[in-house]
Chain A
Amino acid sequence: MPSLKDIRRRITSVKNTQKITKSMKMVSAAKLKRAEDAARRSRPYAGQLDGILNQLLAGVSEDAHPLLAHRPVVKTGWLVVTSDRGLCGGFNSALLRLVERELRDQIERKLEPGLWAVGKKARDYFTRRSYSIKGEMIGVAAAPTSADATRIAAGAIERFIAGDLDEVVVVYNEFVSAMVQRPRIERVLPLSVPREEGSAQVLLEPIFEPSRDEMLAVLLPRVVENRIYHALLESAAAEHAARMTAMEAATSNASEMIESLTLQFNKARQAAITKELMEIVGGAEALASA
């Protein structure tokens, strides 16, 4: 049985840990709110951009622009979006396992996947398993900006056009709710031309300045950037949500532990008191009978 002093020391240490998890939870809650706001504010732009895209692509064939070219897929670029920091429950591991499964599958089929890591966790995971990583981006995951997305997109677009990649997918945690994050694989290149659903509602063709083809050249890279930006924002919100949930659980685990340790402490103290009393009584009796 541990001594009173040992138990007291453990209680103090668990209490300190709980203070940390509690404040991490509150910090994550604040960051989650900010990330959710950022995601919400980005929606009108994304919606409008898709609107223009559909208008421009109506009746356009796949060879109208290199970013629309569907080639037989041999080389897939995987943009894996994780967090830089841990302590966020199963946030990274579920996603990384999924990616690894897909990679193995592609390698078995004699395809040539390439890996790009956004976030330390993706980089470390695949480096430890000796996959080669073609590029990494650290320090953007928790609060991504559209400039970060532009930089990632530029690299992807360049390789896609050069033929180094036949498709580019981004893998990220989708923010479903504060409690639920879901790994998601989304193809960002080549862009697909939406199929008209018989809704030829364009009565009067709008004026395009510059021409439709030139416009595509300006617009399509933006669309790719925006899709990646969206993935980064979702992932950031999901990360903070996951960390908040994990820290919430850790805090309540610590409470439970403190409770059971306190019980143990009281029992031990009572036992010590009883023992002391017995000794006094025993001593007195010995004196009386002497």
Chain B
Amino acid sequence: MSEFEQGRNLTVSVSPHIRAKITTSRIMLDVLIALVPAFIASIIIFGTRAALVTCVCVASCVIFEWLFEKITKRPNTIGDYSACITGVLLAFNLPVTIPLWQAVFGSAVAIILVKQLFGGLGKNFANPAITARIVMFLAFSVSMTNWSSPYEGTSMWIYPIDGVAGATPLALMKNGNFDALPGILQMFLGVRGGCLGETSNLALLIGGIYLMIRKVITWHAPLTFIVVVFGFSALLGQDPVYHLFAGGLFIGAIFMATDYVTTPQTNKGRLIFGIGAGIFTVIFRIYSSYPEGVSFAILLMNILTPYINKFTEAKPLGSVKK
């Protein structure tokens, strides 16, 4: 640039003139990174079909998002990775034996019905993966509760008890079949029957700690959610430790109850969200005909979120009452 040209064509814009480096896609990428340990654990526990189901879900979610935005002439948003997260979370909520066409159907429900029809990222009122899981649960109740695992090699090698095949620990508890329950360490590591991403509490916890270190999520919703489930189930005379590790509590608390869009924006609101989700989870688990209640509880709290937001509105510093 020559001396003469310098200082010409200056850009004028509104302050602030510097921005933080953080972007939406970076946040979403962090969530994906946090899901990697659970992904690896699912492959170890349930075999390579876990990877196949995950890949099918992610690919179909991304394709549905791209297609819908193409048809409705909306700006393309697959670059923000949010569809990938929906795909991974949906896959993690499915049993490993799920027929692939059903997984694709679930992805369509999540992306088109729950997310895009309400206006895309930031506008959906319910968590797409959770809602899709519930729809699939009602639609394909047989294949959604088929916990038999086609692959038991590695898990047998890690923990030589046949805990992978058969019912989930929560279902066993529900039926009073306490003798068949896996041990606590076994459940913490995730070698048990269940959805493919929910079983390894250790891997999910690692992901959660990563997200907190990266300041993507705060502790408020996950911690209150887990503590309330623990305390409330103990209060109702259940074994609280099993309620912690036996179901989808960790994946729900760490990855679903912290979804920005569908949970409250303030920390106070997040505490309320966690408490409510915890109470509903225990109620559903104990009194409903379903063994698991995390997804229903989160969906319910998603619906209540606008009210929680209204209730916990920030009070401006020195605001005058009107």
A, B co-complexed: no
Instruction: Report B's interface with A, CB cutoff 8 A.
Output: none
Instruction: Report A's interface with B, CB cutoff 8 A.
Output: none
